[in-house]
Homo-oligomer: A and B are copies of this chain.
Amino acid sequence: MSSTALGMRLDGLAAYVPEQVWSNARVAARLRLERMRLGASKRTAGSGKLPAEEAKLFETSDRWVRRFIGFGERRFSPEGEGTIDLATRAARLLFERSGHSPNDVDSIVVASVTPSYLYSPPDAALLQHALGIPVWRGADPRELRGADISLACSSWVASLTICYALIRSGMARRILLVGADRMSAAINWRDRSFATVLGDAGTATLCTAVPAAEDWFSPTQFWSWMDGGHAGIILTPAGGSRRPSPLPEEVEAGKHRLAMDGAAVKEVLVPFTGGPAMDAALAKAGWRLEDLDFATLHEANLVLNASIIRMWRERGFRGQVLDAGGRFGNTTSASIPLALAMNPGELVVGRKFGLLGFGGGLSASFAFGTILHPLPAWNNLRSP
């Protein structure tokens, strides 16, 4: 490793979305079906009708989702496929199209909140095998670094930050950074709040060491924040190590699935991300809102994001917003690279960008950079 290799560029990125499209109407129908089933089981048990307050949790429509969330559709993985399958397909697409070889990768970082397996094995190790990355050179093991990294909706930018630290410190030269989540696994079909939001996708980005003069980033261009005081507004009540054995009735009620207080999320995250978080991150980087040619926000909810962007615009942001257009839902650790991969024509040399993750925890993780080399991007929806 040359001691001048102290910068990082992105050498290509790819996104894979599953084939199965779920329109808002289909999600609404699935929620209605669940309400019918619950109603029937309540009648059978002689416990009366579903209270109006509870029945409301099942009600949604295409119109409502488009108006209040901004999503038109999302995609779900088929039965039996998890995060590793999304990750593997995205990585294969990246290597096939870019012509880079997986054999050159020295590190695999998997950003995800939905590990394919609880406890073990980690997705990073599964990906080594799925891609056939060599871990032997004759009788000697070939070094390969890896980790699964999770920080709710900020997982991907938090992982990008770690990739930068590994490269900047001279510890890695070529990192395969995956952002992938099978969020459909986290849906409680008795609660519209996340059912209308979540989607599945996998992405793969190649992070490569370059001389310091060609660095797209700098240590000051990464900014992060956490506040566990609001942890309850995006939380899974059961199934983790604090409550590893939910009762059958809790499973039935979806207590092992992700829940959100949507109003609180909006109330807390919009003013924070739109105001002081962005200010602090820009101040650290020595950048201004005016400097950004484009911004990509974690696609939590396009209506919420529009409120954040409005605050930035009022204070000088004139750049473009690259998003996935509400076609894939909130794909958590995949959302930011997915949005980039859906806008390959906009990733033009010379442009300054902001990648802005925020959400559960609460957490925020931002990165600012400049595209200094061509950044090819692919997705499985476009022909080559």
Interface residues of A (CB under 8 A from B): 1, 80-85, 108, 113-122, 124-130, 135, 139-153, 158-159, 161-162, 164-166, 168-172, 181-182, 185-186, 219, 222-229, 231-232, 234-236, 239-244, 248, 256, 258, 272, 276-277, 279-280, 284, 359-363, 365
Contact = CB atoms under 8 A, between A and B. Distances in A.
Nearest to A231: B121
Contact of A226 (B124, B166, B242, B362): B124
Contact of A241 (B1, B83, B172, B234): B83
Interface of A is mostly: mixed
A119 B113 contact: yes
B80 A117 contact: no
Contacts of A121: 152, 228, 231-232, 234-235, 360-362
What number of copies of this chain does the assembly contain?
2
Nearest to A182: B241
A165 B171 contact: yes
B141 A225 contact: yes
Given A141-B277, A143-B224, A145-B224, A119 B236 contact: yes
A193 B248 CA distance: 26
The list of the 9 closest CB pairs from A to B, nearest first, reads A129-B228, A82-B242, A120-B360, A125-B361, A185-B244, A82-B241, A168-B169, A121-B231, A114-B241
B240 A82 contact: yes
B118 A256 contact: yes
A151 B124 contact: yes
A258 B115 CA distance: 14
A231 B125 contact: yes
Given A113-B119, A119-B152, A128 B226 contact: yes
Contact of A169 (B165, B225, B239): B165
Given A120-B113, A161-B145, A229 B151 contact: no
Q: For A141, A162, A258, which residue has the most chain B Cβ atoms within 10 angstroms?
A: A141
A143 to B, nearest CB: 6
Contacts of A130: 228
Given A120-B360, A165-B169, A169-B164, A148 B150 contact: yes
A118 B165 contact: no
A114 B122 contact: no
Nearest to A332: B119
A26 B226 CA distance: 41
Contacts of A139: 276
A240 B141 CA distance: 29
A87 B53 CA distance: 38
19 contacts: A81-B242, A117-B236, A117-B240, A118-B239, A119-B236, A119-B360, A121-B235, A121-B361, A122-B152, A125-B228, A125-B363, A135-B225, A141-B272, A142-B225, A147-B151, A148-B151, A165-B171, A168-B170, A185-B244
Given A130-B228, A231-B121, A147 B141 contact: no
A375 to B, nearest CB: 22
B146 A224 contact: yes
Contacts of A235: 117, 120-121
A140 B280 contact: yes
B244 A115 contact: no
Contacts of A172: 165
